[in-house]
Structure 1
Amino acid sequence: MKTLRCVMLLLAALLLLPAAVSADEPEYTFVLTANGADSCRAAAGDMVTVTLAVRCDSGTDAVYAAQDEIVFDPAFFAFEPDSVLTRSGVKTSTLHLRDGRQAVYMSFISYGSAADWAGETVLGSFRLRVLAEDGTGALRSSNYLVSSQDGMTHFPAGAEDAAVVVSELCRVTFQTNGGGDIPPQMVYRGNALTLPEMPARAGYTFAGWYSDIDLTMPWLETTPVTADMTLYAAWTGAETASAQGTWLPAAAILLLAAVLAWYNRRKHE
């Protein structure tokens, strides 16, 4: 039994052990600007220059690979493909996302020595033509990362987004995912949104609003609205609740059975 207890304690320690973090591990920030600032004012028909830079906040500034998707709403902006300028070694392409937005993808890969990006380094820029006659258009970084020489390690990275302000009123659209129609709301930029009454959907329970189509970023009612946006409704059903409720106990039983089988084999050796 002493051996079994040791095995169980070791197993628990492995499951609970946090990932080691090196004190020298570099940290980066992807910085977006619109006409050289984190926000700028514009009118329909204006051209706005969007610039992406990477800032090394700590650790080494030697970069082997980096990528970012600069996401924007095509109802608010029109991308000017001939306006792209990039640093040597940086590649670009355009993406059409599942939620209807578009993105300019910038990537860098070094096949030799690391790039020496000291301080804040500009990766590239492009222009967007403003289509909207009101509201605020967000420019956001997505799926951004900086990686090691072998590509196996991704360093911590953050993002500083930008906005183009046509008017202070922002349009918030609600995607109920089967819960009926909810009219959009107009909210002054910087103010919190008054969430609508919970939508209803037969056989499901409303599980809150999220700011992304994949339902990974919950939206809090106290969060200020900074740009035109869409909120997505999340739902839970009987099957989902049942699966979530039984997965952990089942996994624990299987794990315990494997440990006991190993112990019995050792006992009879």
Structure 2
Amino acid sequence: MKSKTIAKVGAFLTAFTVFAGSMLPVYAASVDETDSTEESTAAAAEGDEESFLFQLEVDGKDTVNVNPGDVITVSFTLKRTDAEEAYTMYAMQDEIAYDSNFFELVDGSALVTNGIETRDLAMRDNMRKFYMNYVSMSGGESWQPSILIGTFQLKVTGTEGSSTISNEDCLVSYQDGSGSYPSETKDVTVVVSTDCKVHYETNGGSAVDDVTAVLGEKLQKPEDPVREGYYLEAWCTDMDLNNAWDFAEDTVKGNMTLYAKWAEGEPQSESQTGQYGIIIVIIVLAAAAGGAVWYRKKKQS
């Protein structure tokens, strides 16, 4: 019965696709013309906007090999990337995140440009953030296109694997504070060894053993843990369970913890997923065809 239903839906979908295909060119031509104009306007506006690079380095490099107990100096440079011209700075911040299981801040080691404020705060999951921020009290200050914001030192306490010191929640603010300019980041990776420790936090499920993974290589997916009344939806790299780890594509960048993301009930079967997919396609094509018919009638009238 189920196979006959799918066959009927498939036949309907084929016929519907032919009909929709005959109608879509008219509608698409109008949409393409409008979209082209809007994209050109947006691109022109974006071309006039300042943009920046938040760059972290150790000894002028983005990857360094160290030994346990070494003290490294982390430098933060802000670079304007759209032009080699001075500009007016109103406010800036960078939250430089590091793993307290791998590093220890050297007290009093920060050296910063005039006006830069710093703070070191504990976060969740053994992470810490070294804040560097600036706010002009005189309506803006002239800054050069490349400026060393500051440096600070970390002692390497990790004995194996690697860890990345990263820029997070960084921004250069508009004058009115309503938003921020586009920016990119360059982080720095500190390597003690290429054998990285991966810890699995099952969040109420059965235990999964820690494993050692090779830096830069893919991670083998473990057997799913068990939790009564739930099924494992994904392994995530963050405690808030927003960023799923892709075992087929992602590569190990250092020591890390993966968190189990659970969903109530039982996972959907492949046949259910396939049927839902066909229904969604039909709805989308119906909406597109309806829009095309409406546009043709309006044009004829």
Which of 209, 212, 216 is the equivalent residue of 1:186? 212
Which of 103, 109, 115 is the equivalent residue of 2:135? 109
TM-score, normalised to structure 1's length? Answer: 0.76
- Structure 1 residues 231 and 115: alpha-carbon distance in aligned structure 2, compared to 1, 3 A threshold: farther
Q: Which runs of 4+ in 1 moved over 4 A?
A: none
Please state which structure has a larger fraction of its residues in strand: 1
Superposition pairs for residues 49-88 of structure 1, below 5 Å? 49-58=73-82, 61-88=87-114
Superposition pairs for residues 2-21 of structure 1, below 5 Å? none
Hey, what does 1:133 align to over in structure 2? Answer: 159
Measured after TM superposition, the shift of residue 198 of structure 1 is: 2.2
Q: Which amino acid aligns with 1:178?
A: G
Between 1:203-212 and 1:133-142, the stretch displaced more is 203-212
Which of 243, 261, 264 is the equivalent residue of 1:234? 261
Q: Which amino acid aligns with 1:130?
A: V
- Partner deviation per Cα, 1:144-200 (whole Å, 9 max, x = no partner): 111111211122222111011111111111122222221122111111111212222
Assess if the C-alpha contact under 8 Å between 2:101 and 2:126 holds in 1: no
Which of 213, 224, 232 is the equivalent residue of 2:251? 224
Tell me the secondary structure at the aligned position of residue 69 of structure 2.
coil
Q: Which amino acid aligns with 1:53?
A: T
How many angstroms apart in 1 are the aligned matches of 2:137 and 2:257?
40
How many angstroms apart in 2 are the aligned matches of 1:56 and 1:118?
8
How many angstroms apart in 2 are the aligned matches of 1:32 and 1:53?
7
Which of 167, 173, 177 is the equivalent residue of 1:147? 173
Hey, what does 1:24 align to over in structure 2? Answer: 48
Which of 53, 75, 100 is the equivalent residue of 2:126? 100
Q: Which amino acid aligns with 1:24?
A: D
- Partner deviation per Cα, 1:107-151 (whole Å, 9 max, x = no partner): 111122433333332111100011122211210111111111121
Superposition pairs for residues 137-216 of structure 1, below 5 Å? 137-216=163-242
Assess if the C-alpha contact under 8 Å between 2:102 and 2:163 holds in 1: yes
Please state which structure has a larger fraction of its residues in helix: 2
Hey, what does 2:5 align to over in structure 1? Answer: none
Measured after TM superposition, the shift of residue 208 of structure 1 is: 0.9
Percent of matched pairs sharing the same residue:
33
Q: Which amino acid aligns with 2:58?
A: A
Tell me the secondary structure at the aligned position of residue 81 of structure 1.
coil
Measured after TM superposition, the shift of residue 36 of structure 1 is: 2.2
> Could you say what the CA RMSD is over the residues aligned between the two structures, in angstroms?
2.1
How many angstroms apart in 2 are the aligned matches of 1:178 and 1:156?
40
Q: Which amino acid aligns with 1:224?
A: T
Measured after TM superposition, the shift of residue 95 of structure 1 is: 1.0
TM-score, normalised to structure 2's length? Answer: 0.69
How many angstroms apart in 2 are the aligned matches of 1:73 and 1:125?
17
Q: Does residue 41 of the first structure (1) align with residue 41 of the second (2)? A: no
How many angstroms apart in 2 are the aligned matches of 1:105 and 1:173?
27
How many angstroms apart in 2 are the aligned matches of 1:201 and 1:85?
50
Q: Which runs of 5+ in 1 are unaligned?
A: 1-16, 239-269
Larger radius of gyration: 2
Measured after TM superposition, the shift of residue 92 of structure 1 is: 0.4
Q: Which runs of 5+ in 2 are unaligned?
A: 1-37, 266-301
Q: Which amino acid aligns with 2:174?
A: S
- Aligned pairs, number: 222
Measured after TM superposition, the shift of residue 201 of structure 1 is: 1.9
Measured after TM superposition, the shift of residue 67 of structure 1 is: 0.9
How many angstroms apart in 2 are the aligned matches of 1:53 and 1:210?
31
